[in-house]
Amino acid sequence: MLEILRNIFTLSIGAIFIENFVLCQFLGICPFLGVSKKVETASGMGFAVVFVMTVASAITWVVQYFLVKFGLDYLQTIAFILVIAVLVQFVEMFLQKAIPALYESLGIYLPLITTNCAVLGVAILNTTKFTEGPTFLYSTLYGFMAGVGFLVAIVLMAGIRERLETSDIPEFLKGMPITLITAGLMAMAFMGFSGLSF
């Protein structure tokens, strides 16, 4: 029991800080760079991604169970991405009815969550990372925490970029270059967590 609790704690802190999906594992970079101009939209996107990653982790765990059972491991990629595509479709329809304001502000970026490598990435990572114990719990939790890590990174970036708007940056660095350099510095900061263990 204690072992399980310890694992849960480790993987949570791990997903958010030590191996942050965006700043350490390079997953979810496109929306991270694309939707981080304003804190509001960034957090909206972040929350949507948390939800999708959590539910996707849960469903793909079940799918993986059956794939392994029937020896169809090679169908993993195609099965997972289909699950994610359908899931995002449902989230889209739900948001359009329930929170139209958020739906509008996310615009094209909402269906793009399907191609967010963080979602497919966490689904695949779950299958290799957790082999003993309550793997369903670990997988779903890891999906949730990884999403939170993404949320933290994207909101931090948005906060910084809002400030950069009013700074005097050389023309050729404006836009993507300065954003990437900022991300590099953030990644460096997050490296400070890498010695952390329990």
195 binds another protein, rule: CB under 8 A? yes
Q: Contact at 8 Å (CB) between 113 and 31?
A: yes
Tokens of 94: 């739900």
Sole window of 53-61, 91-99, 111-119, 150-158 interacting with another protein (rule: CB under 8 A): 111-119
Tokens of 162: 């809002």
Nearer to another protein, 11 or 151 (CB): 11
Whole-angstrom distance, CA of residue 79 vs CA of residue 58: 14
Q: Contact at 8 Å (CB) between 31 and 164?
A: no
Sole window of 43-51, 101-109, 148-156, 167-175 interacting with another protein (rule: CB under 8 A): 167-175
Tokens of 133: 């114990």
Residues of this chain that bind another protein (CB under 8 A): 3, 10, 14, 18-19, 23-30, 33-34, 74-78, 81-82, 85, 111, 114-117, 120-121, 124-125, 128-129, 171-181, 183-185, 187-188, 190-192, 194-198
